[in-house]
Structure 1
Amino acid sequence: MSKKLPWYAASASVLTAASVALAATPASAVSAPLHDARIAAHFDLVAGQTPENVALTPGDAADVTFAAGRQIAEVSPSGAVRVLATLPEPADGGVHTPVLGFPLTVGITRAGDGTLYFLYATGTADLTGVWRLRPGGRPQRIAALPAGGLPNGLALDQDTGTLYVTDSVLGTVWRVSSAGGTPAAWSTAPELAAAGFLGANGLKLRGGAVWVTNLDRGTVLRIPIRRDGSAGAVRTVATGLTGVDDFAFTGRGDELLAALNGPSEVALVRPDGSHTIVLTPADGLQNPTSVAVRGSTVYVFSAAYVTARDPNLVVAHLGC
């Protein structure tokens, strides 16, 4: 681990343990239904270009958060990077950011008009929260979140203008208007809690429900949105997903692809909860953090938090 990259120190032991636990599993190249995996882009590790989350654009590009760089950037289809915004560094350097000890940009989502909403965790009350970046504008915080938490996953309900946020430290799903305001704790179910490191992580909306991963517990959870907007009972959809981070639905019902950070794998999770590994380090994965799907194309971003070698974008194709 390079001394130039101190932000990885807090998470290395946990994620490395996850990798060791799966070390007996032979590495294999891309597996069905994925095929033709390739590294499409490399990012600058020393500059903090550690991709954490992604929102695809209508123009075949991808908007990403570079966690360690405190940046929002656009990655073109050719792999070119254009920085859209850099967030202010906290006065204390972010050393009080819970668990990790460095300030980081995290979840990101995109509205139909091109407005980006994203999360910033700094351990300080003046910066931690939900931020907005309108096309051609400057980043602005629109909702404060607890400095003692770690906002992580983010999704926007386009119909209601509601943002949902996971907090990996406080084990909470927050809800707040995309216009800004005071967030409300939507769910604090025990299934969201951490078990030693980080709990509720990735978040997506599908079928009238909020879907959430729990990194420590290796689970995918489904929380129905009731008619009055409140949270229903949590159902555990899948287990055994060591180091699960963010995920994306494939477009085939409730089937999804999940990034497994520690073991550097991607799992195909079926609606019945069973799963198989479809991408591995042999395909170029370096602690993958997020997955996106556009049609039959799958995008997997890796932050190299533990490998500290090659943060990158792996592209594969989804077949029958």
Structure 2
Amino acid sequence: MSPHRPIGLRRRAAMLGLAALVTAIAVAPAALATPAAGTCLGDVRVLAHFDRAAGQVAESIALEPGGGVVIGMIPARQVVRVARDGAVQVLATMPLPPGGGTTTPVVGMPVVTGVARSDSSSDSGTVYFLYSSGQGGLTGIWQVRRSGEPRLVVPLPADTFPNALVIDGKRDRFLVTDSTGGRIWQAPLRGGEASVWSADPALAPGGFFGANGLKVHDGAVWASNSDHGTIVRIPVTKGGGSGRAEVRATGLEGIDDFDFTGRGTEILAAINQTSKLVRVGADGAHETLLDAEDGMQGTTAVAVRGNRVYVTNGANLAGNEPNLLLAELRRTSTEAGRLDAQPRP
């Protein structure tokens, strides 16, 4: 938490939701370089609406078989499942900690953030999520159980703000971004003690949130940095450790979550600060695919499976209709810049 931020602003940001924190510093929009050709989106529609008054600020997405998804809801402290037909089911609701969680770093309230679903043979289909409460014994990685009572599997220090959660199946471990600490933590998938995997300076915050979104891709761990508007790539060493971070894209101030399209290192990124979904090419050039005119409202997360793209809007910076969007991933022609008639397989 920056000592230079006025208390009123911190409280307002907390009420608006997690990703609103990155808007405290006014920045001029970066010029977007437009690639000659690449990905575009079609058939964009709302799959599910959420209850903003009940704190259902959609923050993260984990894909499930059959077209359903699991979503973390920030101030509602919930994990919900959205079926393929848009039906919403609450899987877990975390109780308020003693004192109300006012010691939670930066936001001053307890929040559920990242979600992940295991595909390992030992616990296939298990849903995990992150809870940040400002208290030891509560902050960390939790497991959703059929009984409805969540179980803490990896505790994290009280002063961390765990934000994005991924499962590195190749090494049977969790990886977690710590937005206020500017770190990535690792922990065994079976549960237990966490350790810092990387504290590279490229992950550090510039006042509010540093490392935010997180993915494992092509022999490396990729992370977004909200304050600095960057996407960084950290190579994984032979022993599973972290190499030196390399900045792969800039000019993405307010970036939240992101995902790869399946075409090399092409990325779709959720820009919470300006309510946009952007395409980031392999060279770092980026262009807007969806914006406020397309229904973007405090865009928080994106997940890609085949030619289906899921996008969450938290409605924490603009509008009052948090939702889950579904779109079709398509390809534009290199020569003519037109929409290819064939969707991505």
Question: Map of 1:299-318 to 2, 5 A cutoff?
Answer: 299-307=310-318, 309-318=320-329
Shift of 1:40: 2.4
Question: Map of 1:71-86 to 2, 5 A cutoff?
Answer: 71-86=78-93
In the alignment, residue 307 of structure 1 is paired with which amino acid? Answer: A
In the alignment, residue 132 of structure 1 is paired with which amino acid? Answer: Q
Distance 2:12 2:260 in 1: 36
Show the counterpart of 1:189: 200
Q: Does 1:244 align with 2:244?
A: no
User: Are the structure 2 counterparts of residues 6 and 290 from structure 1 closer, same or farther at C-alpha, using a change threshold of 3 Å?
Assistant: closer
Show the counterpart of 2:114: 107
Show the counterpart of 2:137: 126
Distance 1:39 1:73 in 2: 16
Ranges in structure 2 where 5+ consecutive residues have no aligned partner: 1-10, 33-37, 332-345
Deviations 1:217-252 (A, max 9, x none): 000011011011110011111000120000011111
Distance 1:230 1:37 in 2: 40
Question: Map of 1:4-15 to 2, 5 A cutoff?
Answer: 7-8=15-16, 12=20, 14-15=22-23
Show the counterpart of 1:70: 77
User: Are the structure 2 counterparts of residues 255 and 309 from structure 1 closer, same or farther at C-alpha, using a change threshold of 3 Å?
Assistant: same
User: Are the structure 2 counterparts of residues 306 and 276 from structure 1 closer, same or farther at C-alpha, using a change threshold of 3 Å?
Assistant: same
2:128, 2:143 within 8 Å by CA — same for their partners in 1? yes
Show the counterpart of 1:153: 164
Equivalent of 1:48, from 27, 51, 55? 55
1:193, 1:200 within 8 Å by CA — same for their partners in 2? yes
Output the aligned Cα RMSD: 2.3
Equivalent of 2:244, from 215, 228, 233? 233
Distance 2:18 2:130 in 1: 20
2:261, 2:268 within 8 Å by CA — same for their partners in 1? yes
In the alignment, residue 319 of structure 1 is paired with which amino acid? Answer: R
Shift of 1:14: 4.3
Q: Does 1:214 align with 2:225?
A: yes
TM norm structure 1: 0.92
Question: Map of 1:244-263 to 2, 5 A cutoff?
Answer: 244-263=255-274
In the alignment, residue 243 of structure 1 is paired with which amino acid? Answer: G
Deviations 1:145-179 (A, max 9, x none): 11111000111011321110000000110000011
Show the counterpart of 1:28: none
Identity %: 45
Distance 2:62 2:17 in 1: 27
Across the two proteins, how many residue pairs are aligned to each other?
Answer: 312
Distance 2:215 2:19 in 1: 24
What's the secondary structure of 2:15's corresponding residue?
Answer: helix
Equivalent of 1:275, from 286, 294, 304? 286
Distance 2:253 2:19 in 1: 15
What's the secondary structure of 1:319's corresponding residue?
Answer: strand
What's the secondary structure of 1:106's corresponding residue?
Answer: strand
Larger Rg computed on CA atoms? 2
Show the counterpart of 2:214: 203
Distance 2:144 2:66 in 1: 18
